[in-house]
Amino acid sequence: MKTLSLELPVMYGDHHVKEVRRILLEIEGVKDVYASSSFLVVEVKYDAKKTTPEDLTAVLEKAGYIGDPGILVEPSIPANLREGDKHYRTTSFSEETGNIIGFKQEVAYQGRAQWPCPGLGLLNVVEPQTKETNNG
């Protein structure tokens, strides 16, 4: 039995720990996984005859847990005062929680999600709702 320890800079919440454990435990030869969102580290015990460190690393990299988290820095100029293309975020529905999240903000489009979160998909966009629609 061998042990592999890796730093995962994007594993910053318990939902990430759960997803990293699920991903790794599905690999044949993985016996145990210890993951910590506090220390951003995962430790994997595996059978070297069935899998390799490269296989384990590749799976985590594909899921987005290894590498630069790519979190954007907020600019000092508000989005509605910057020149260039604009992207508007509005009300969205979260399938995971069943909640409607309502907000509107003008944000410059960067070509990808502004707050990357491996293991969770994008929110489905729905039409903005009025007070009458919400109350039935």
Any domain includes 136: no
Any domain includes 54: yes
Looking at residue 14, its pLDDT comes to 87
pLDDT digits (tens, 9 = 90+) for 108-127: 555 555 455 665 555 555 55
Residue 50 sits in the same domain as residue 79: no
User: At 39, which CATH number?
Assistant: 3.30.70.100
The whole-angstrom separation of Cα 95 and Cα 91 is 13
Any domain includes 69: no
Domain around 37: 2-63
Any domain includes 39: yes
Query: Which H or E element spans position 17?
Result: helix 14-25
How many structural domains are present in the chain? 2
* pLDDT beyond 80 at 4: yes
pLDDT digits (tens, 9 = 90+) for 38-90: 998 999 999 999 999 999 999 999 888 887 766 555 556 655 566 664 554 45
* pLDDT beyond 80 at 134: no
- Of the pLDDT bands very low, low, confident and very high (cuts 50, 70, 90), residue 10 is confident
Looking at residue 47, its pLDDT comes to 96
φ, ψ at 67 (rounded to 5°): 115, -170
Looking at residue 11, its pLDDT comes to 85
Any domain includes 124: yes
Residue where one domain finishes, among candidates 20, 44, 63: 63
Which is more confident, 108 or 5?
5
Using the structure block, give the residue that is written with the tokens 């999240």. Answer: 101
Looking at residue 101, its pLDDT comes to 63
Residue 40 sits in the same domain as residue 8: yes
